[in-house]
Amino acid sequence: MTLSLVIVTVAMFATPMILSRFKVSVVPTSVAEVIVGIILGQSCLHLVKMNSVLSYLSTLGVIFLMFLSGMEIDFSLFKKNSKKRMTPLELKKANAQPQTSPLKTAILAYGLSVVTAVILAILFKVSGLFTNFMLATILFATVSLGVVISLLKENELLSKPFGQAILLFAVLGEVVPLLTLTVYSSLYSGKGETLWLISLIFIVAALFFRHFRKFFTFFDTINKSTTQLDMRLAFLIIITLVVLAEEVGAENILGAFVAGIVVKLLQPEEETQRKLDSIGYGIFIPYFFIITGVKLNIPSLLASPKTLILIPLFFIAFIVAKLPAYFGYRTRFSKGNSRAAAILSTTTITLVLATLTVAEELNAITPQQSGAFILAGILTCIFAPILFNKLYKPEPEDVQKTKVTIIGANFLTIPAAQQVSKDWYDVKIYTDKQADYTTYKSRSNVQLVKSLNPDDLIEQEIFDTDILVLAYNTLVNYNLAMNAKKYGVKEVIAYIESRDPNDTMEKELDEAGVDTINKFSMDVNILRTAIESPSMLQVLSDGGDAHIYEVTVRNARFAGLEIHKLPFIKDITISRIFRNRHAIAPHGETRIQLNDHIIFSGERDVVQKIRKSLGRLNEENY
């Protein structure tokens, strides 16, 4: 152990704390760590001297960086929605969406960027400023997936089509250059004849996936705190594929990246992913970034007139290579947001550092040229996020009102519709009875229909709703409920006058996912509540300040967040979480998922803020 190791470790711990203390949010942590390394290394203070231990930690850092980059890929993005499996309502909504999917948008945008990268590489070669055409093309075509993901998360865009298009662009900007780099390094090192051996990496990866595909389904039954089998499996896959990659003449970063993909496809528990993130971003990856800065010798770079010219030229090339992506993004998004997306896509640092590490080992690039590329990459990660935040104009993201359709105007449905919050629900009541329409039309939004034939209601788009409440007689409600579920209405509530739990009709409704209510069960439950919890009557009634509320989690920002970390948790009490129609008893460490239905109590004045935060529509189907 040396003093240099201690200094780097202290810097690794202090850097994020300094960023937080001075509220520096425009500079990604990875870029800040490279800058800290520059200050501590041979460019400035000369406090850190390179040795074998630091080199080994740096190698582990880049391996873990590429491993976690592989785990960042969401493969569901590459799946096309199968319209054959869609309900008629889902198919209708899908057809109403823009025809250009985020995947097609990203592929077109990245294709244009690759063409531009090739042209720029040719210009550099012809001018004599940088003659390695293939390496220049790879570098100009890279995108920093980690930086892009962090910025999309901060702006709550990760699950929206706009954010997904940028994310897919970044994925392509990491996968394509990495595969190209593997081929390039094999050819450059004279191992082209063994290039086919690289396929062994993917074969072994497939074997890992096949053998451990069901590992996490029984993981909890075999794991112990002293064994941590999920971590052992992850390291087994990493080490095997990294060593295999080196043995067949490929780069270790390819093996690490493929290992990340394998672990991702195994669908590990969130806790496993969290532990891997902790090991990577908490221990090894910061060493790689800081040591990268330590090895830079900026004074010598600036002493060379040619390198001094290369820094701004590489920076401009990184920007120009991605600008044509605007035309790809423009096929779906507005002009302003397409410009913002193109600018964000210029961020490039992680794979650039990995590529330059490989290039230097192959002696395919000089230290001065490598340093110029690194400094140019750092500049993109500073300026691109700032410009993106200025250019991006979010569409109005107020919580969309939940559409509620009630079939039946009577003494029960009219008061209920009147008392439902107008800020959160858009309620429409339909009846085929002229007398009921005349009686109630002045009290609520009641509309008259000619018949309650399901086909007629579908044709009039009355079933195009979020919640369907059926308050006619039992037979009509049963018929409408079954047809509504078949059409694709997600939430159907039907009033059924039945007291027999073995009733066939009620069983069929339950199997179809229809919630049923009847007067007898409601009266019994209220009476039981009055006996067991008299104070609950005040909560259930109109009196008092505390009430029970429900909100559906639509904001991707909160997905995976533990309950005790909710910013407003002190103002409310969460009693239940309903996930896929199953009740969960929450505790402080319960993680929220998208589309969770959270039942909570609290003061009226905080409910709107909570619903706006959790219920903000931040996920769209495409």
The per-residue pLDDT for range 136-186, each reduced to its tens digit, is 999 999 998 777 877 787 677 766 788 888 988 988 998 899 889 888 888
Position 506 pLDDT exceeds 90:
no
pLDDT of 82 over the 90 cut: no
Confidence at residue 118, expressed as pLDDT on a 0 to 100 scale: 96
pLDDT of residue 340: 93
What backbone phi and psi angles, to 5 degrees, belong to 131? Answer: -90, -10
The lowest-confidence range among 2-16, 75-89, 427-441 is 75-89
What tokens does 75 get?
């493969």
- Residue 348 DSSP class: -
Q: Which residue has the higher pLDDT, 92 or 113?
A: 113
Confidence of residue 620 (pLDDT cuts 50, 70, 90): very low
Gap between the Cα atoms of 576 and 570, Å rounded: 16
Quote the CA–CA distance of 487 and 557 in Å, as a whole number: 31
- CA angle (241, 244, 246) in 5-degree steps: 110
**For residue 572, is pLDDT > 60?**
yes
Considering the segment(s) 3-391 as one domain, its CATH architecture is Up-down Bundle (1.20)
In angstroms, rounded to a whole number, what is the distance separating the alpha carbons of residues 96 and 178? 37
Secondary structure letter of residue 562 according to DSSP: B
In the three-class reduction of DSSP (H, G, I as helix; E, B as strand; rest coil), residue 426 is classed as strand
How many CA atoms lie less than 13 Å away from 264 in the CB half-sphere? 18
Mean pLDDT of the chain: 83
pLDDT above 60 for 388: yes
Tally of CB atoms within 10 A around 352: 26
Which residue in this structure is represented by tokens 């896929």? 580
More confident residue, 27 or 201: 201
Architecture of the domain spanning 545-614:
2-Layer Sandwich (3.30)
472 within 8 A of 407, measured Cβ to Cβ: yes
Please name the residue ranges forming H helices in 420-503. Answer: 434-440, 454-459, 474-487
Q: What is the rounded distance in angstroms from the CA atom of residue 122 to the CA atom of residue 250?
A: 26
Enter the CATH code of domain 402-532: 3.40.50.720
pLDDT higher than threshold 90 for residue 23: no
pLDDT of residue 622: 30
Domain ranges for the chain, please list them: 3-391, 402-532, 545-614
The answer to whether 391 and 454 are in contact (CB under 8 A) is: no
Among the listed residues 96, 94, 110, the one whose alpha carbon sits nearest the alpha carbon of residue 167: 110
User: What's the one-letter identity of residue 192?
Assistant: G
Strand, coil or helix: 143: coil
Q: Of 159-168, 320-329, 507-516, which has the strongest mean pLDDT?
A: 320-329
According to the 3-state scheme, what is the secondary structure of 513-581? CCEEECHHHHHHHHHHHHHHCCCHHHHHCCCCCEEEEEEECCCHHHCCCEHHHCCCHHHEEEEEEEECC
Q: How many angstroms separate the Cα of 565 from the Cα of each of 19, 400, 562, 568? A: 21, 25, 5, 9
> What is the pLDDT at residue 522?
67
pLDDT at site 400: 64
- The residue assigned the tokens 């002293």 is 226
